[in-house]
Structure 1
């Protein structure tokens, strides 16, 4: 029951965020994806209410740092792919112990696997949707 309440709160939070972002289509879509990612990870990890209260703030910091690394990479035309991967690994290593402290080693591994799995599912969905504006833009350049 606690898991259902937690998941419902998370989804409602994500949906309410989407309502505020309706003016900007990119932000709206990003918020929708974020809500789906949170729901996906929640299902995979089966967090208790207490774990969820401790996990999500760490997760939000982690995602902020990952986004920062990706922005840095995107803005560096002379970047090295191996260095890019190392920067992301370094972020994951920095957060590893914090995640382990909340959800334990096995579920920390499951979290990183779920994150990777979600990206795969998302890419598949984007490839297969009827109007592919993002992918078409990238392919047409």
Structure 2
């Protein structure tokens, strides 16, 4: 119980930092040696780290499983992001008749389903099927809890 409370507090602090960063603040630091600006992690990257922490806690992976799982999971996320980008472009360039747009939307949904099937197969090579299924369930639970908190008007802290 102590460990869970500690994790929740750490994540709340991280989210408070996200909220403060979103409000603006000091400019990016200057890298004096190279003349380029050093980039801070984006809010999306921080959010992804919190999501990974949530999934990691739910899966309770061994170090060996984690070493194999996270690179595979990152590939899965990259492919999902690509389909999401195509889907967004499809919706932005909508045909007034909507027929072609609807057909493309269905094809994007099918691609996502096929990606999930493929990566479920990859995940069960790394961990037991129950844990592989829990990957997708944990993602859904994370999103639903986040949406629930947003609807309640709370700060968008990650679920724990």
Give how far 1:121 is off: 1.7
Aligned in 2, Cα 1:96/1:121: closer, same or farther, shift over 3 Å?
same
Counterpart secondary structure, 2:124: helix
Counterpart secondary structure, 1:102: coil
Aligned partner of 1:88 in structure 2 is 112
Alignment match of 1:67 (pick from 81, 105, 110): 81
CA deviations 1:76-95 (Å, max 9, x no partner) are 13244433321210111121
| Runs of at least 5 residues in structure 1 that lack an aligned partner in the other structure | 133-141
Aligned in 2, Cα 1:45/1:130: closer, same or farther, shift over 3 Å?
closer
Counterpart secondary structure, 2:61: coil
Bigger Cα Rg:
2
Q: Kindly report the root-mean-square deviation, in angstroms, between the aligned alpha carbons of the 2 structures.
A: 2.8
| Runs of at least 5 residues in structure 2 that lack an aligned partner in the other structure | 19-26, 29-40, 95-100
Aligned partner of 2:21 in structure 1 is none
Q: Are 2:129 and 1:115 aligned?
A: no
Q: TM-score, normalised by structure 1?
A: 0.68
Residue pair 1:73, 1:79 contacting (<8 A) in 2 also: no
Question: Which structure is higher in helix share?
Answer: 1
